[in-house]
């Protein structure tokens, strides 16, 4: 049983490694991280309630997940097709569109939470 638990805990290491790589190497992920920190600080400052925290946490997770998936897709496309190619570019554009949609929705959620507090 202990071996099973140890194996499960160790299985998280690659995920954390990927997360740290993302925030260290991707400029857009760094922008999202800064936005996350600002939102968390604002949430404490404005004393958002539990339901508001739920929406804010969902929005943060949505954007970071979208950014991680976008970066993964971009790296895979670059590996499989290093030279410029129209279809490879379209795949990358579609992945970036996912981040854009997640970011827009997150800004709307943040506005719905914070604007009434001003």
| pLDDT digit string, tens, across residues 47-103 | 999 999 999 999 999 999 999 999 999 999 999 988 888 899 999 999 999 999 999
Tell me the percentage of the chain whose pLDDT exceeds 90.
86
Q: How many domains does the structure of the chain reveal?
A: 1
Pairs from 58-61 (Cβ < 8 Å, separation ≥ 24):
58/109, 59/105, 59/106, 59/109, 59/110, 60/36, 60/106
- b/e for 12-24, b at 16 or more Cβ within 10 A? eeeeeeeeeebee
- Alpha-carbon distance of 117 to 47, in angstroms, equals 9
pLDDT at 84: 83
Q: What's phi and psi for 85, nearest 5 deg?
A: -150, 140
pTM: 0.88
CATH code (residue 88): 1.10.287.3610
Range of the domain at 112: 2-117
């Amino acid at each position: 049983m202990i071996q099973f638990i140890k194996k499960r805990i160790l299985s998280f290491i690659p995920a954390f490694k990927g997360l740290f790589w993302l925030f260290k190497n991707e400029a857009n992920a760094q922008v999202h991280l800064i936005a996350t920190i600002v939102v968390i600080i604002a949430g404490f400052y404005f004393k958002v309630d539990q339901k508001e925290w739920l929406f804010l946490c969902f929005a943060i997770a949505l954007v970071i997940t979208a950014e991680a998936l976008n970066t993964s897709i971009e790296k895979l496309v670059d590996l499989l097709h290093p030279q410029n190619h129209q279809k490879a570019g379209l795949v990358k554009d579609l992945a970036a569109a996912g981040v854009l949609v997640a970011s827009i929705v997150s800004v709307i959620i943040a506005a719905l939470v914070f604007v009434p507090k001003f």
